Structure 1
């Protein structure tokens, strides 16, 4: 937070939005409370043209230091001077802005001291600034316009809120950031209707307007008459201004009858970062409570907060389908955490938004990609979470902001913890816990040498993608914090903390509605009545996670279960994961010498151990982990012999896979019947048909003699860790089949997946897959675990079970021909997607078996969806990905000519089938043309793996305007990854598109794509391709084609290179060597950096790429022209004759010297001058380094 010597108390904004020429024009008035006698006032303003500034009505001088606009390098500079260019933008790459617009206080201006105040205070002063803005690159996005082919009814504009803390100052002068909240009054002038957009107030149509209208009409020449009539009716659509609906009003424009003025008054102080609006021909649709909402949600009819959706007319039904649950969600948040902080909530779905959601006060600007019709299944589980997070961000993220960047984890974590709580109610407890478990597992994969949550290494200016790790880890930390608080302290946990936090914000106990990490810790300790220093020191102020190895044995003499828990993270922590998308950022951190955060040697805290003893009763024991090794003696409670287990009567499996098990007659059984999952396919006939294996008599005898069924460590999910327990496999089988916790079942599947393959394990897993009583996510995991059982030692039993499962569930009886799709059962739909994915991962000697390949090809070829009420877009994409997965060979595989010929023929079939899907997607588009996007990405994989040649001509057509933006981005990524960087024409085309294209989404994605391509080259090597047939490697050439390099080089050198690329530092050294000679890339990259069309985020990424690829060189090349030593002289000899000759500019005459005998001697210099006349011209150029 920068101290500028004043605070902004109120700001009024009046702007006129011109959708036709992408411009804003207006004025803003700031009411400032000085804290001292000011000589200058620094405001943040970029891109805007400032016309005049008044201080208390007096005109004053001002000047702008727009670094982005003024940055300029000297002639002859190159990429090695990237650090000098970065220094010019240093002010924009800081945590807080320093002020770009400097306003001088007028001479003689007196600051009047406020005598009514107890401290030193001054009367407020007002600044009025007239400004205009045209073709903004950041802050505001215009879609459509007179130079576009988009129909006028779809023209719209909106604020982007990116980069974080610097967005608003790109369209109005203000004190930007998160920490200068004030009250606001905003007036926006817009046309009344679509037909009024390009009409002048004098009702005259100039030539420019007529041309634009005729151009707009030309697009519909081939439309039907009904379409023309609809287009005419669209001229009457009203232009709406969407903002915070608190105290909004609409009046006629005072000077132009074709315009109106919409105003919003915001009496709650809010930072400029969260001031936003959208203008367009939107339709307002309210969300009403559903009839099946809970009664407690409907008891507050008078106090309910209205929710409005703003979309274009053709998107209303999709919006209602996508957001139907939001009213229920708002009621849940209100009941659980406190009242909604604003009076209304609006969601406006816009086109071409860079991120999924941009949050403002009482408003969420959402990408229209989040909308989906009822025919789509997958977005219901994906996009719903995004919309819930957007609503939760209104509580924590907009109404409450972090006190500093190091406190950002609090607001991110709280909003996502709130959303997870509602998703538990919406999707169920199994889905909730399964998602948390998968994300905890992802943290253990990526949280290696990462900075702590409370000390993030942020790359300013920030965008949403820079916060991905915080978004992943912060809500999980709050989840385990809640578990710790409710378990050990007998408190209500975060369900009591968060309402108190929001109450403090409403009562203004939080200064400027800012929350810090220290304040959050104090609040948690106050609620739990216990110190939490140890927890926050380990999980918030430090990094890493523990790895536990647990040993156990039963001591019959003492009747104790003896356990040992050892922390081994110091010796078993893996290497950091290298990702092509993150490589440039990771490399920059290494070059900047950012601190490295090693894992902690010891984590402490309570851990719950649950022992399921012989009588089937679970006994919980809470132990306190304090040291590196913890030895435990746990009392055994069962005093009698283990009861013998009886199997349930085998249930019917529908189509051989069936419903719930029948309990049978308990009176006729010797032991106790234990009802368990996975007890399908038990009859002898089914076991023979499925080739199933059961426990041997010896193993069953060992089971009977065990003292307990199974042990669970951390049964209450209080740790983010890796956990290894040495209990026998049959105990994990009992855990899988009898424990009701989805996390316990998932851990058991992971155990079988990691063990040595066996037919027994495959039988256990396929029974899990076929039992419909299991949660669908576990069945999906069981299908993927069966891949590990498909090895030669087990006679590929895993493959047999997967093929049999798909045949029974989805094919005609007794054949492998799939039935027509029926996705009415969502659980069955996800299993139908998972089995082909699993089959594609099976390998024998590095190759997917031919029968599996042909089976996957047939699934795609004969996919039938005509009678299905649901779309198969996601299913088709899954089949395409699975088919390409099956073609990928393991590394270091070589084949003879016959195998290569067969592979080439099959690859051609696969490529032809993918092309067919692309053509169908062109005729009948899938959602966001996702089939085409997937096809392009998978073709790229085939080229990178050396399985086919690139087709730049076939892909470049998808980069043209008119295609879906995601299709264009995928096509450009294909070009960049496969050689466009080394092709001058293709690279120039990509970079030109990143500056000139009308879509801000495409422009920004291209720069991100270039960064990803650099990461790919660094990790995989130049060209990024794998071994081709014959051991050759494909790489890009100057002409954009692919060059084949013999891969039969020094094997030792190849291994050394692979080892070097496994670390960030080694990859940097190698990629610098490879790109040092790429002069064309250097020139294009440096031209792009100096291009003024790029925004600050694009400049930051390009400079980061330069820093990674090229060493900085402090040099300044100066060229000094020198005069010619000779000049041309023309002499007229008469009679039309002329002689032109060179003559020295300076004539040096040497006096003759008489000798003693009276003769005249010529000097040596005169003789040398004659010789020099015969020498060729010499040009001198002096360069000062």
Structure 2
């Protein structure tokens, strides 16, 4: 490669200064070397026999009088080719023209480059300041001045690049989808000290379920200096990688051994230590890891038995007596972990699911949820976080077909008088029940609450939930779409919410979500809606009636 590159660069220099000047340069160098070789006893003349790059370039400049510095700088350094494609065809985007900052982490340090964006697809050559190190040992300087030792065995021996970042200061309103090698994302996760860069690396590593990615994520979980939210995100990424590597995963389930080493007794790994929550970073990690572990699946797409038993043991042996902080959020996360472990029920010969014929594992989960819900009535937790988690868990049990789907429990918790967080959780479950079961009675119950509810915040939340999780949409046919519903929503957004602009906007959004801008198909045609075309001898829709947003005429 070096011989080929040297030959091509010499040809470039020849084309730049002409063949005549190139021959004059060679003749001058040969003359100096010949003179130096004849001086046997003058050692300083023998230095003319050694030709350096600097002396060669100086000879070219003296003979030709031309400056070839820019040409040499372009070819004496290694360069990285970066292609930037700009997509401004999507909704809400526009073409960007201007500078963009690119940070390149090399073996000799971190370097910033400013590129000019003018086209939607453009290739840029970024000069590299470092040479390929191969097997030499040296600490790598980072952006913040810190020097670290790195294992460079994973990277290309001839490349000085470790990782690249686009617009690291986030000075442009943009969304970046960047592609680079998996080992570059792993280096960025381990050694980049910017939190945003670490989160970007974790998101990218979801596409690379390899043992190297697994090791990088595990190292981040064990680093106490790492930002706690980065470690929390690494938990969920590690669960996704473990599910993708389910056939090749070796050892205990992901994060179990780490959680046992950090938070459980040494003599009995299944018994968790007494809560202390002195370090908030470890506290957030302690309540996040079980939630991520519950997302693990085996080859049958079921939560592993030992993971479920481990979570149940965490609930069983939880001890907060000597802790000066409440553990209500931690217990709520453990209930969420039980919820994440649920998978759709397998129906045999279309049997009807009841509480009496539950699966053994599901029965244990339901018993724990029931116990928590009953304890909340005696000793309510702060902001009733346990009740909220239990309501979400019961709805997931219903959606997965483990228990009969019923809305009465959620209606009772949604009534006026309960704490607002509990009411919102129950209403969210009711909205989901209405969509899944296509229940017109529950939809009407929700709309009646919007009209009669004393708390305006709850009315606002109901309409927002219906917009986010609608019972039907304008592109689908549903039995819930009828003339009475259109009339009710039309009156609601025109007169029923005239005193509150927020509720009025919510009602308009819901109307648009359900029916769009055209006339609802469930409405009958208005008077004079059809006219007789005598020329074509057929009835057509009156062209004066615009299918715009409109209610009953």
Does TM-score exceed 0.5, indicating one fold? yes
Deviation at 1:674, TM superposition (A): 5.4
Q: Given the alignment of the two structures, is residue 968 of structure 1 paired with residue 423 of structure 2, yes or no?
A: yes
Deviation at 1:976, TM superposition (A): 3.9
Q: Is the 8 A contact 1:959 1:969 kept in 2?
A: yes
Tell me, in whole angstroms, the C-alpha distance in 2 between the residues paired with 1:722 and 1:735: 16
- Structure 1 residues 976, 645: closer, same or farther in 2, change over 3 A? same
Tell me, in whole angstroms, the C-alpha distance in 1 between the residues paired with 2:131 and 2:511: 72
Alignment-derived partner of residue 388 in structure 2: 933
- Structure 1 residues 865, 1115: closer, same or farther in 2, change over 3 A? same
Alignment-derived partner of residue 632 in structure 1: 124
Tell me, in whole angstroms, the C-alpha distance in 2 between the residues paired with 1:874 and 1:817: 20
Deviations 1:167-189 (A, max 9, x none): xxxxxxxxxxxxxxxxxxxxxxx
Q: Is the 8 A contact 1:608 1:622 kept in 2?
A: yes
Alignment-derived partner of residue 569 in structure 1: 87
Alignment-derived partner of residue 232 in structure 1: none
Q: Is the 8 A contact 1:759 1:789 kept in 2?
A: no
Alignment-derived partner of residue 644 in structure 1: 136
What SS does structure 2 have at the residue aligned with 1:1074?
coil
Tell me, in whole angstroms, the C-alpha distance in 2 between the residues paired with 1:802 and 1:766: 8
- Structure 1 residues 937, 624: closer, same or farther in 2, change over 3 A? same
Q: Is the 8 A contact 1:564 1:629 kept in 2?
A: no
Matches within 5 A, 1:793-942: 795-797=248-250, 800-813=253-266, 814-844=268-298, 845-889=300-344, 904-942=359-397
Alignment-derived partner of residue 219 in structure 2: 767
Q: Is the 8 A contact 1:562 1:631 kept in 2?
A: no
Q: Is the 8 A contact 1:644 1:704 kept in 2?
A: no
- Structure 1 residues 1105, 647: closer, same or farther in 2, change over 3 A? closer
Alignment-derived partner of residue 730 in structure 1: 183
Matches within 5 A, 1:573-722: 597=91, 599-600=93-94, 602-614=95-107, 616-638=108-130, 641=133, 644-645=136-137, 675=148, 700=153, 703-719=156-172, 720-722=174-176
What SS does structure 2 have at the residue aligned with 1:978?
helix
Alignment-derived partner of residue 408 in structure 2: 953
Tell me, in whole angstroms, the C-alpha distance in 2 between the residues paired with 1:984 and 1:732: 50
Q: Is the 8 A contact 1:762 1:798 kept in 2?
A: no
Alignment-derived partner of residue 1057 in structure 1: none
Tell me, in whole angstroms, the C-alpha distance in 1 between the residues paired with 2:222 and 2:361: 32
- Structure 1 residues 1080, 941: closer, same or farther in 2, change over 3 A? farther
Deviations 1:246-303 (A, max 9, x none): xxxxxxxxxxxxxxxxxxxxxxxxxxxxxxxxxxxxxxxxxxxxxxxxxxxxxxxxxx
Tell me, in whole angstroms, the C-alpha distance in 2 between the residues paired with 1:701 and 1:858: 40
- Structure 1 residues 898, 769: closer, same or farther in 2, change over 3 A? farther
Q: Given the alignment of the two structures, is residue 1069 of structure 1 paired with residue 475 of structure 2, yes or no?
A: yes
- Structure 1 residues 846, 969: closer, same or farther in 2, change over 3 A? same
- Structure 1 residues 947, 929: closer, same or farther in 2, change over 3 A? same
Alignment-derived partner of residue 781 in structure 1: 233
Deviation at 1:1003, TM superposition (A): 3.7
Deviation at 1:772, TM superposition (A): 0.7
Q: Is the 8 A contact 2:206 2:237 kept in 1?
A: yes
Deviations 1:870-895 (A, max 9, x none): 12222222222221111135xxx967
Tell me, in whole angstroms, the C-alpha distance in 2 between the residues paired with 1:920 and 1:1090: 45
Alignment-derived partner of residue 40 in structure 2: none
What SS does structure 1 have at the residue aligned with 2:458?
helix
Deviation at 1:826, TM superposition (A): 0.6
Q: Is the 8 A contact 1:610 1:715 kept in 2?
A: yes
Over aligned residues, Cα RMSD in angstroms? Answer: 4.0
Deviation at 1:938, TM superposition (A): 2.9
- Structure 1 residues 1087, 569: closer, same or farther in 2, change over 3 A? closer
Deviation at 1:922, TM superposition (A): 2.1
Q: Is the 8 A contact 2:132 2:157 kept in 1?
A: no
Deviation at 1:803, TM superposition (A): 0.8
Alignment-derived partner of residue 752 in structure 1: 205
- Structure 1 residues 738, 973: closer, same or farther in 2, change over 3 A? closer
- Structure 1 residues 748, 1000: closer, same or farther in 2, change over 3 A? closer
Alignment-derived partner of residue 450 in structure 2: 994
Tell me, in whole angstroms, the C-alpha distance in 2 between the residues paired with 1:784 and 1:1096: 41
What SS does structure 2 have at the residue aligned with 1:565?
strand
Deviation at 1:989, TM superposition (A): 4.8
Deviations 1:437-475 (A, max 9, x none): xxxxxxxxxxxxxxxxxxxxxxxxxxxxxxxxxxxxxxx
Tell me, in whole angstroms, the C-alpha distance in 1 between the residues paired with 2:490 and 2:147: 71
Deviation at 1:828, TM superposition (A): 0.3
What SS does structure 1 have at the residue aligned with 2:393?
helix
Deviation at 1:1093, TM superposition (A): 8.1
Unaligned runs of 5+ residues in structure 2 are: 1-72, 141-145, 529-552
Q: Is the 8 A contact 1:861 1:913 kept in 2?
A: no
Deviation at 1:771, TM superposition (A): 1.2
TM-score (normalizing by structure 1): 0.33
Alignment-derived partner of residue 54 in structure 2: none
Deviations 1:226-259 (A, max 9, x none): xxxxxxxxxxxxxxxxxxxxxxxxxxxxxxxxxx
Q: Given the alignment of the two structures, is residue 559 of structure 1 paired with residue 77 of structure 2, yes or no?
A: yes
Tell me, in whole angstroms, the C-alpha distance in 2 between the residues paired with 1:1009 and 1:713: 37
Pick the structure with more strand per residue. Answer: 1
Tell me, in whole angstroms, the C-alpha distance in 2 between the residues paired with 1:1079 and 1:741: 56
Deviation at 1:647, TM superposition (A): 9.6
Deviations 1:718-748 (A, max 9, x none): 342223233x333333333333222232333
Tell me, in whole angstroms, the C-alpha distance in 2 between the residues paired with 1:864 and 1:907: 24
What SS does structure 2 have at the residue aligned with 1:785?
helix
Unaligned runs of 5+ residues in structure 1 are: 1-554, 574-596, 649-672, 680-694, 1019-1066, 1118-1184
Deviation at 1:835, TM superposition (A): 0.9
TM-score (normalizing by structure 2): 0.68
Q: Is the 8 A contact 1:823 1:870 kept in 2?
A: yes
Q: Is the 8 A contact 1:759 1:797 kept in 2?
A: no
Deviation at 1:867, TM superposition (A): 1.8
- Structure 1 residues 788, 881: closer, same or farther in 2, change over 3 A? same
- Structure 1 residues 1083, 858: closer, same or farther in 2, change over 3 A? farther
Tell me, in whole angstroms, the C-alpha distance in 2 between the residues paired with 1:701 and 1:973: 48
What SS does structure 2 have at the residue aligned with 1:722?
coil
What SS does structure 2 have at the residue aligned with 1:724?
coil
- Structure 1 residues 984, 709: closer, same or farther in 2, change over 3 A? closer
Deviation at 1:911, TM superposition (A): 2.2
Deviations 1:1085-1111 (A, max 9, x none): 678679858745545544554553434
Q: Is the 8 A contact 1:799 1:842 kept in 2?
A: no
Tell me, in whole angstroms, the C-alpha distance in 2 between the residues paired with 1:1114 and 1:898: 43
Deviation at 1:1011, TM superposition (A): 4.1
Alignment-derived partner of residue 242 in structure 1: none
Deviation at 1:958, TM superposition (A): 1.8
Tell me, in whole angstroms, the C-alpha distance in 2 between the residues paired with 1:612 and 1:973: 47
What SS does structure 2 have at the residue aligned with 1:754?
coil
Q: How many residues align?
A: 437
Deviation at 1:606, TM superposition (A): 1.7
1:1005 aligned to which of 451, 461, 473:
461
Alignment-derived partner of residue 1115 in structure 1: 526
Tell me, in whole angstroms, the C-alpha distance in 2 between the residues paired with 1:1070 and 1:995: 26
Tell me, in whole angstroms, the C-alpha distance in 1 between the residues paired with 2:183 and 2:510: 53
